[in-house]
Amino acid sequence: MDISKLKSAFAKDIKAVKDVKGLEDLKVQYLGRKDGELNRVLKSLKDLSLAQKQKVGPAANALRMEIESALEKKLAELAKKSAPTIAKVDVSLPGKKMPVGHLHPLTQIENKIKEIFLGLNFSVVEGPEAETEYYNFDALNIPANHPARDMWDTFWLGQKENLGKMLMRTHTSPMQIRYMEKNQPPFQIIVPGRVFRFEATDASHEINFHQVEGLMIGENVNLANFKYVIEQFFKKFFGREAKIRFRPSYFPFVEPGLEVDVEFNGKWLEVMGAGMVHPSVLDKVKLDPKKYQGFAFGFGLERLAMIKYKIPDIRMFYSGDLRFINQF
Amino acid sequence: MKFSYSLLKQLAPKISSKEALIEKLNFHAFEAEDVPTVLQGLPGQGGASDTLEISIPANRYSDASSHWGIARMGAALFGGSLVDISAGRDPKAELKNPAVEISISSKKACSRYIGRYLEVPAVKSSPEWLRNILMACGQRPINSVVDVMNYVMLETGQPLHAFDADLVKGPIEVRMAQEGETIRTIDGADHKLNSSHLVIADSQGPLAIAGIKGGKRAEVSQDTRKIIVEAASFDGPSIYKTARDLNLFTDASGRFSHGLSPMLAEVAMKRATVLLKDETKAKIGELTDVNYSKNPKRLLKFDIKRFNQLTGLSLEEKAALGYLKKLGFKITGRFVEIPAWRNDVSIFEDLVEEVVNLYGYQKLESQAPHVPIKAAHKEENIVLKDKLRGVLQGFGLSEVYNHTFLSRQDLTKYADPKWWGAPALLNPVSADFQYLRPDLTVALIKNVEDNFRFFDSVRIFEVGKVFTEKEGIFKEEAMLGVALASKSENPILELKGLLDELLKSVGLTDFFFRDLDWDLKHLEQDRGLRVEANHEVLGYLGIPRGSEGTAVAEIFLDKLLKLVEEEKEYEPLSKYPSVDRDISVFVNQETRVDKLMEAMENAAPQFLDDVDLIDYYDPSVENKNTKKDHKSLTFRLVFQADDHTLTDEEVNAEMVKITSVLEEKFGAEIR
């Protein structure tokens, strides 16, 4: 019998196999060491010429591999068929545990904020956490050697060869300057990001935390527009019934400056600083304050998260404790 | 800052209840709240406190850090008049002594110095009404002279100082200190001064650190009979700098630092003179007023159109100007004269704030902005981070946030801070937070250890900034850090598979895992890999030294972002079936699987579409002594042609090529 005939014979035979026993027999029939069909072909080789040997040899080997894998496959098939039928499930058993990942609560809050502001046509940008003194203070109309700077207790990095006098940014407001330097109004953006303050930590103070900065500049963007945007935001964030109020306040880079309180569970909570961008800030970025005006605001992410999720201690956000994170 | 409600009401009688005042201040001026009077011994208060706490903004010290200023606001809010404490003539000198001799040698640092000589019959304790007001404002009464100084400061906002005139030798000079000059202040502390510190001195040396604290040498005591009262104006920034230098923050330095109008010195001197005369029966001497040049009138034009444009209100000009008038601004037509005490007002927008505050934000109607719509977007790096977070959460990982700061110990556990290139803070809040993190995994490994107390396996990631400074170049980079950990086996292969899928899912097409070949001191050197794409190192994965059950990885997000910009493109599905062949081999223990797979792919490039390891066992581990020092591997090879169904002959021919490469190159034994 030659190789091709053997192959088609095997193909026919294996189809006919019904059980594991039959398969075993077939294996012996074709691959058996003594009388297997394939061995017989190989044995017959010794009578052939060298050229013929070289031709038939590899073909026979290939066929062996083919047969082996076909047998294996068939075995698996049979095993499947003969396997006991699937047992009836008691659906009252508890469901299987799925591995579930959790985004950090601050990420979730930030995502929600981004979504609301994108819906209000604000774009989302970010900026560096290590800043120069210029962007963090000078350009924002915060004078050197003035106690006003104490409002932002600062971690200093010192003079850096490639960047100048550096610090860990104390607020996200430097991005007002960076963005206005590169973009022509009208625009509206928010800037979420990590900020740093040199202070003792306790339940409501951390040395790093997160803020979201907002900036809207145009030719007629006014305080009444700010009130509208911020009302929209808080109503989406805290629910339709959210009440907010404005109070006068002072930040050197806005004029007028104000603070925003939100009523939550019958209590007024201070959540945001804001105001109309100070003309000298616009001057710094070469925007004509006679032509352009607008508002800026900033608020703390942790504070909103603590209010919304009733988290008592800001330090929990940075504990890396999965018993905490996996609750959200 | 603490204020006395009764003194405010005395100055602006129309102010109604304390509660009403607090409410109005909050909505129209400054944050205010009711607080208990801290000092004991206030008779006639019936338990109720006379004290309220008002936060004076940094730019409003000149006009509002005084009862006079808050009362002015009270009168504007409640109506009625304000008692003008600056009114009336300067009291006449009764003594014939020559005036105090005063000179100022640093005119920039001291823009006005008023001194007056007085004689007091006795230094006793102050009358009760005065002591009560001091105590309501948190101050301890001392004696009749010092109390008047403090009371007038509370009333006018101007700090005053009284020297014992008998102890002052020669003329008074306002000058910069000499390098190394020392002074003992009234609290008994000694301070070493330098030439950037301003002092009040006589012929013998410093009498006081100007604007900050008086000296012990000429302190007023029970025996004092002659005094020199000082009311001066100092440059805010230099007082602030000196207070910082000496770490000496006093009530006076706080007030001067914020900048006070020179007109206050005059008002305060007049009030102090009157009170000393009335309350201590002092005899008034001559007054010396040095270096004062009256500021020119400051005028701003009020533009009602611009006002309404900035606020969104529609006020009448008259109404707007009316609010300014209530606050003491003088109005002449459309011109507004800024009162001398208001050094925070210099541009039109400052006036806008005054009007809008007094008008009240409650009455401001919100309006939707009218702007051209441009498509809002998220910056690409934010989109990438959001995507990574989503995929990792889907893989069952939780996100942690760690501090940006690490301790020296955190770093030296693996290597010196210098090796890390971790920048140090100049002023760390504590040793635990001294360095900026040069990497995310140091903290993630700690997170794993902490969480192992409660969980048998930990799967976490963090997205954040890392910082390095090497050869003078300071760098801030966005990073993704991942840690998988299990108490039973090392999950590095899971992490490798995870990274593979993660990178594909954010759109990275061509990347490779190569031997780490990179001296990362926190990792086991021989069991790490680096991730490479486009001839750049995108990140790494490995096993942290000393954490056998943990695997960590980091990916540089800025580099990743540059490589994932390509869009995905549809690849036609093959119409022809693929052919699977499994092949099992014994190879030497040392043989690397990636090399075998690579060799197989290269051996049959035409039709071999994919090679996958589907089974692996290590006989030595499983305690079978067949084939010592060998491992058994089973691969599934998938063959596919784009244009026809592969025949057995074609596949066989490929298999022969593959097996012979395995046998010849790796000495593999095909099973």
Q: Report d(CA B626, CA B75) in Å as an integer.
A: 101
B624 pLDDT exceeds 60? no
Q: Which residue pairs from B18-24 have beta carbons closer than 8 angstroms and sit at least 24 positions apart in sequence?
A: B18/B52, B20/B78, B21/B52, B21/B74, B21/B77, B21/B78, B22/B52, B24/B74, B24/B77, B24/B78
pLDDT at residue B626, as a whole number: 62
The band of A223, judged by pLDDT with boundaries at 50, 70 and 90, is very high
Mean predicted confidence (pLDDT) in A191-200:
96
Let me know: does A179 contact A284? Beta carbons within 8 Å.
no
Q: Which of A136-140, A242-246, B539-543 is the least confident region?
A: A242-246
Residue position matching structure tokens 């801030």: B476
Q: Which of A58, A228, A245 sits opposite B366 (nearest CB)?
A: A228
- Cβ-based neighbours of B318, under 8 Å, separated by 6 or more: none
Residues of chain A found within 8 Å of residue B460, distances taken between Cβ atoms: 320, 322
The percent of residues in chain B predicted with pLDDT above 90, rounded, is 75
Greater confidence (A77 vs B216) lies with B216
pLDDT at residue B36, as a whole number: 86
Active site includes A247?
A: no
Residues of chain B found within 8 Å of residue A111, distances taken between Cβ atoms: 386
pLDDT at residue A1, as a whole number: 59
Residues β-bridged to residue A299: A212, A272
A85 contact B CB<8A: no
pLDDT at residue B588, as a whole number: 86
Mean predicted confidence (pLDDT) in B484-508:
94
**Tokens representing residue B227 in the block:** 């005094």
Residues of chain A found within 8 Å of residue B398, distances taken between Cβ atoms: 101-104, 322, 325-326
Residues of chain A found within 8 Å of residue B494, distances taken between Cβ atoms: none
Residues β-bridged to residue B233: B112
Let me know: does B556 contact B538? Beta carbons within 8 Å.
yes
- Which of A41, A152, A188, A274 is the catalytic position? A152
The band of B623, judged by pLDDT with boundaries at 50, 70 and 90, is low
**Tokens representing residue B408 in the block:** 């020296």
Mean predicted confidence (pLDDT) in A181-204:
96
ipTM of the complex in this document: 0.89
Q: Report d(CA B551, CA B445) in Å as an integer.
A: 9
pLDDT at residue A9, as a whole number: 85
pLDDT at residue B353, as a whole number: 97
Mean predicted confidence (pLDDT) in A218-245:
93
B44 pLDDT exceeds 50? no
Max Cα distance, chain B (Å): 130
Q: Report d(CA B259, CA B319) in Å as an integer.
A: 31
Let me know: does B533 contact B548? Beta carbons within 8 Å.
no
Mean predicted confidence (pLDDT) in B60-80:
96
B520 pLDDT exceeds 60? yes
Percentages helix, strand, coil for chain A (3-state, rounded to 5) are 45, 25, 35
The band of A58, judged by pLDDT with boundaries at 50, 70 and 90, is confident
Greater confidence (A47 vs A212) lies with A212
pLDDT at residue B46, as a whole number: 47
Distances (CA, A) of B351 to A227, A237, B321, B338, B527: 20, 34, 9, 9, 68
The band of B486, judged by pLDDT with boundaries at 50, 70 and 90, is very high
Residues of chain A found within 8 Å of residue B392, distances taken between Cβ atoms: 101
Across chain A, mean pLDDT equals 91
Q: Which among B454, B506, B502, B460 is positioned nearest to B481, based on CA atoms?
A: B460
Element (H, E) at B175: strand B172-176
The nearest alpha carbon in chain A to B352 belongs to: A256
The percent of residues in chain A predicted with pLDDT above 90, rounded, is 62
- Cβ-based neighbours of B521, under 8 Å, separated by 6 or more: B414, B415, B419, B545
Let me know: does A73 contact A13? Beta carbons within 8 Å.
no
A95-107 b/e (C-beta count within 10 Å ≥ 16 → b): eeeeeebbbbbbb
B385-403 per-position pLDDT tens digit: 999 999 999 999 999 999 9
The band of B629, judged by pLDDT with boundaries at 50, 70 and 90, is confident
B47 pLDDT exceeds 70? no
| One-letter amino acid of A328 | F
Instruction: Kindly determine whether residue A224 and residue B365, on different chains, have CB atoms separated by under 8 Å.
Output: yes
Put the strands of the sheet holding B457-470 in their side by side order: B398-399, B457-470, B473-486, B550-556, B536-542, B529-533, B512-515
Instruction: Kindly determine whether residue B399 and residue A158, on different chains, have CB atoms separated by under 8 Å.
Output: no
pLDDT at residue B478, as a whole number: 97
B376 contact A CB<8A: yes
Q: Three-state SS for B513?
A: strand
B540-570 per-position pLDDT tens digit: 999 999 998 999 999 999 999 998 866 677 8
Q: Which residue pairs from A1-10 have beta carbons closer than 8 angstroms and sit at least 24 positions apart in sequence?
A: A1/A37, A1/A40, A1/A41, A2/A41, A3/A41, A3/A56, A3/A59, A3/A60, A3/A63, A6/A30, A6/A37, A6/A38, A6/A41, A6/A63, A7/A63, A7/A66, A9/A37, A10/A37, A10/A67, A10/A70
Q: Report d(CA B412, CA B119) in Å as an integer.
A: 69
- Which of A210, A211, A212, A305 is the catalytic position? A211
Active site includes A102?
A: no
pLDDT at residue A60, as a whole number: 80
B588 contact A CB<8A: no
Using CA of residue B621, residue B622, residue B625, residue B629, what is the dihedral sign?
Answer: negative
A263 contact B CB<8A: no
Peptide bond into A256 cis (omega under 30): yes
B590-603 per-position pLDDT tens digit: 888 888 898 998 88
Mean predicted confidence (pLDDT) in B174-184:
95
Let me know: does B86 contact B22? Beta carbons within 8 Å.
no
B198-210 b/e (C-beta count within 10 Å ≥ 16 → b): bbbbbeeebbbbb
Residue position matching structure tokens 């350009």: A139
Q: Report d(CA B193, CA B201) in Å as an integer.
A: 13
Residue position matching structure tokens 């936060």: B55
Q: Which of A163, A207, A246 sits opposite B474 (nearest CB)?
A: A163
Q: Which of A76-90, A128-142, B347-361 is the least confident region?
A: A76-90
Greater confidence (B70 vs A144) lies with B70
Across chain B, mean pLDDT equals 92
**Tokens representing residue B278 in the block:** 């009335």
Mean predicted confidence (pLDDT) in B358-381:
93
Q: Report d(CA B120, CA B326) in Å as an integer.
A: 40
Residue position matching structure tokens 């086991």: B524
Q: Report d(CA B537, CA B471) in Å as an integer.
A: 20
B369 contact A CB<8A: yes
Q: Which of A163-167, B403-407, B519-523, B605-609 is the least confident region?
A: B605-609
Mean predicted confidence (pLDDT) in A42-60:
77
Instruction: Kindly determine whether residue B404 and residue A129, on different chains, have CB atoms separated by under 8 Å.
Output: yes
B40 pLDDT exceeds 80? no
- Which of A41, A139, A169, A171 is the catalytic position? A171
Instruction: Kindly determine whether residue A146 and residue B402, on different chains, have CB atoms separated by under 8 Å.
Output: no
A265 contact B CB<8A: no
A228 pLDDT exceeds 70? yes
- Cβ-based neighbours of A45, under 8 Å, separated by 6 or more: A52, A53, A56, A57
**Tokens representing residue B620 in the block:** 């030595």
The band of B61, judged by pLDDT with boundaries at 50, 70 and 90, is very high
Selected for mutation to probe chain A from B56, B388, B427, B636 (highest A CB count within 10 Å) is: B427
| One-letter amino acid of B44 | G
Report helix angle B304-311 to B348-359, nearest 10: 60
Q: Which of B398, B401, B433 sits opposite A102 (nearest CB)?
A: B398
- The 3 state secondary structure assigned to B253-299 is HHHHHCCCCCHHHHHHHHHHHHHHHHHHCCEEEEEEEECCCCCCCCE
Let me know: does A323 contact B458? Beta carbons within 8 Å.
no
**Tokens representing residue B190 in the block:** 């000694």
Q: Report d(CA B122, CA B160) in Å as an integer.
A: 20
Residue position matching structure tokens 């210099």: B346
Mean predicted confidence (pLDDT) in A144-172:
89
B325-341 per-position pLDDT tens digit: 999 999 999 999 999 99
B197-245 per-position pLDDT tens digit: 999 999 999 999 999 999 999 999 999 999 999 999 999 999 999 999 9
Nearest-Cα distance to chain B for A316, in Å, is: 10
Q: Where are the alpha helices (DSSP H) in B90-230?
A: 128-136, 144-156
Residues of chain B found within 8 Å of residue A194, distances taken between Cβ atoms: 404, 464-465
B41 pLDDT exceeds 60? no
Selected for mutation to probe chain A from B353, B406, B486 (highest A CB count within 10 Å) is: B353
